[in-house]
Amino acid sequence: MTKGRVAYVMSRFPHLSETFILREMLEMERLGWEVFLFPLVLQKQSVVHPQAAAFLPRAQDVRLFSGRVLRANLAELFRRPGLYLSTAARVLWENRSSPKFLLRSCVVFPKSVFMAQAMQRAGIRHVHAHCATHPALA
């Protein structure tokens, strides 16, 4: 029996600079948690850590220009237009001082809407985002 389900949101997976997250995910599984991965970018690496390779089948490949991301955003826009639009506006407003971060946030926001729906469907109640940048925005 698992203690619950936890989602990890990270910038890239698998990526060597994210190895410290891998150790944490392995420990969470050892403690009885079911781990789900939501990388903002699912990388194709020529060399992958063997323990990271075991997580690849669980990593969500969330592409910005995909039907499922479009459907998730349209569904949320029509289901809760006020919340959807106010959240999108806040993302833009809070990132206005950095054109680079603003542009990336415009990519992350639609993906995060899809991720939120996927996490709800999977019964995930705990989300862990490493680094207070794009993963935290998602």
List the domain range (segments joined by +) for residue 86. Answer: 4-137
Contact 32, 2 (CB under 8 A): yes
Structural domain tally of the chain?
Answer: 1
* Closest among 132, 126, 85, 129 to 109, alpha carbons compared: 85
pTM comes to 0.85
Task: Report residue 98 as tokens.
Answer: 């950095």
Please state whether the peptide bond connecting residue 99 to the residue before it is cis, i.e. omega within 30 degrees of 0.
no
* Closest among 43, 40, 60, 61 to 105, alpha carbons compared: 40
Residue 133 confidence (pLDDT): 62
Which residue type is seen at 9? V
In tens digits, the chain (138 residues) has pLDDT values of 678 999 999 888 877 766 778 889 999 999 999 999 999 988 887 778 888 888 888 899 999 899 999 999 999 999 999 999 999 999 999 999 999 989 999 999 999 999 999 999 999 999 998 765 665 555
